């Protein structure tokens, strides 16, 4: 039996592995950043539901040994606390610690990247590294254990089902060869344009270079400029038409980073199709209201 490779990208400050007591902050960052108009059109009426769901999903990833959860820290900017357009419950105790830190001088988590580890070698290497170098003595937060336990009054069931089915089928078709898939990349609006997104993204790209395997993402439209700037390739754009609940609809793209391309090797993209010849998917949504 061959020995499991131990080589993997280093995490250096301000990057670090996420811990249990980061979950409330991580969930708030995730909630503060995305455009909720499609998946969660009622989040302003039920902000507590939307925020809880993000935190529970974050906990699920942190519990999963086939996920790598990475955070990035920065110096607190108290005057930037209101940058997010997301409605946050006034009694949420995590708001203050998420933005200002436990002490004025303490760095705070401002960005999150969650990578899905798609083969056993990567899972074993990450697990071995964390076992040897990381300890987490913090407690799990007092939140529901699974998304099924969340009320989800902010969400639109049909919107979520249609988008989820589309993204799942596209990922299965186009990302099967990826060693890692990026599940989440978010930076709090107050701390954007400071290089945090690039730093979080670069960890997975460095992993790809070590293994000479592509990494992929089902990218939201807002994240596509960053991926393109970092050398990722657009594989398959998609778009869901709007309805009376969310007139703008939603769009995104399957994107991949090929380490071979950066190293100058010739590769064939998308089963023989040139990267300049891309198909796209459009879905018309009929509201049930």
Tens of pLDDT along the chain (289 residues)? 344 444 788 888 999 999 999 999 999 898 887 667 889 999 889 989 999 999 999 999 999 999 999 999 998 876 555 555 555 555 554 443 444 444 444 788 999 999 999 988 889 888 888 888 788 889 999 999 899 999 999 999 999 999 999 999 999 999 999 999 999 999 988 888 999 999 999 999 998 998 889 999 999 999 999 999 999 999 999 999 999 999 999 999 999 999 977 655 444 444 333 333 334 565 544 334 4
The CATH number assigned to the domain holding 238 equals: 3.40.630.30
Question: Does some domain include residue 10?
Answer: no
Predicted pLDDT at 282: 52
**Residue 5, domain member (yes or no):** no
Q: Is 82 exposed, middle or buried (0-12, 13-18, 19+ CB in 10 A)?
A: exposed
Q: What global pTM score does this model have? A: 0.83
- Residue 102, pLDDT score: 47
Domain count, the chain: 1
Q: Is the residue at 274 inside a domain?
A: yes
Are the C-beta atoms of residues 142 and 25 closer than 8 Å to each other?
Answer: no
Count of CB atoms situated within 10 Å of the CB of 141: 16
In DSSP terms, 116 is beta-bridged to 67, 181
pLDDT of residue 168: 95
CA angle 172, 177, 178 (to 5 degrees): 95
Give me the residues paired with residue 181 across strands: 116, 216
C-beta atoms surrounding 259 within 10 Å: 21
Model pLDDT, residue 2 = 40
| pLDDT for the residue numbered 134 | 81
Flag whether 188 is in a domain: yes
Return the pLDDT at 252.
Answer: 95
2 found inside a domain: no
User: Domain span at residue 204?
Assistant: 15-283
Q: What is the 3-state secondary structure (H, E, C) of 49-84?
A: HHHHHHHHHHHHHHHCCCEEEEEEEECCCHHHCCCC
- Predicted local distance difference test score (pLDDT) of residue 240: 95
pLDDT at position 266: 46
The answer to the question of residue 77 being in a domain is yes
């Amino acid at each position: 039996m061959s020995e499991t490779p131990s080589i993997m990208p280093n995490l250096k400050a301000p990057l670090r592995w996420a811990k249990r007591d980061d979950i409330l902050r991580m969930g708030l960052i995730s909630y503060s950043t995305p455009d909720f108009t499609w998946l969660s059109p009622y989040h302003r009426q039920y902000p507590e539901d939307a925020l809880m769901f993000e935190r529970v999903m974050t906990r699920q990833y942190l519990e999963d040994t086939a996920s790598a959860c990475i955070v990035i820290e920065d110096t607190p900017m108290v005057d930037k606390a209101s940058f997010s357009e997301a409605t946050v419950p006034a009694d949420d105790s995590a708001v203050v610690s998420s933005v200002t830190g436990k002490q004025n001088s303490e760095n705070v988590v401002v960005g999150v990247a969650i990578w899905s580890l798609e083969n056993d070698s990567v899972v074993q290497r990450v697990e071995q590294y964390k076992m040897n170098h990381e300890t987490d003595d913090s407690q799990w937060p007092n939140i529901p254990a699974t998304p099924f336990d969340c009320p989800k009054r902010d969400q639109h069931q049909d919107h979520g089902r249609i988008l989820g089915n589309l993204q799942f089928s596209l990922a299965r078709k186009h990302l099967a060869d990826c060693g890692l898939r990026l599940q989440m990349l978010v930076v709090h609006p107050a701390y954007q344009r400071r290089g945090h997104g690039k730093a979080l993204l670069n960890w997975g790209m460095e992993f790809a270079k070590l293994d000479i395997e592509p990494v992929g993402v089902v990218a939201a439209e807002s994240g596509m400029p960053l991926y393109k700037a970092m050398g990722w390739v657009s594989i398959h754009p998609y778009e869901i038409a709007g309805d009376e609940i969310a007139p703008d609809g939603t769009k995104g793209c399957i994107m991949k980073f090929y380490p071979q391309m950066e190293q100058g090797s010739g590769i064939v993209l998308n089963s023989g199709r040139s990267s300049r010849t891309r198909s796209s998917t459009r879905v018309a949504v009929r509201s049930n209201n």
